[in-house]
Structure 1
Amino acid sequence: MITEREIYFLKRKKAKITMSEIASAIGCSQSLISRYESGQREMNNNLINQYKKYIDNKT
């Protein structure tokens, strides 16, 4: 089963949003986005909500 994290990763890739772009927009590092998307690290709920909202607004 596909996770919500994977869905947003695919939505981000389809919309051609770079990790650097979204990191700048939500105020975190590109490496945090990378580690979050790969499942190596969690982000706090506030950042997750901003991440999802940014992607949703661009797609």
Structure 2
Amino acid sequence: MKTIELTEKEYWRTLRKQKKIKLREIADLLKCSIAFLSMYENDKTLMRPEAINQYKDFIQNK
């Protein structure tokens, strides 16, 4: 059986979707746009390390 390897961002996006967390919830916490978070998850922009930690903490602890 073939193993699928996820990048770190793919892992967090998948976990967020499994937990049914909307980008809006995280955008409100980080005070940024949904579009910005979407671009981050799709590797089209960078985010501050502190914001990345808040993003991960929110997903992990929800």
* TM-score (norm. length: structure 2): 0.86
Relative to its length, the structure with more helix (as a share) is: 1
Uncovered stretches (5+) of structure 2, i.e. residues with no partner: none
Structure 1 length-normalised TM = 0.90
Asked if 1:6 is matched to 2:10, the reply is yes
Structure with the greater alpha carbon radius of gyration: 2
- Measured against aligned partners, the alpha-carbon deviations of 1:2-53 in whole angstroms (never above 9, x if no partner) come to 1111100000000111111111022211111000011111111011000000
Q: Percent identity?
A: 41
Q: What is the RMSD computed on CA atoms of the aligned residues?
A: 0.9
Letter in 2 for 1:52: K
Give 4+ residue runs of structure 1 displaced > 2 Å after superposition: none
Aligned residues: 58
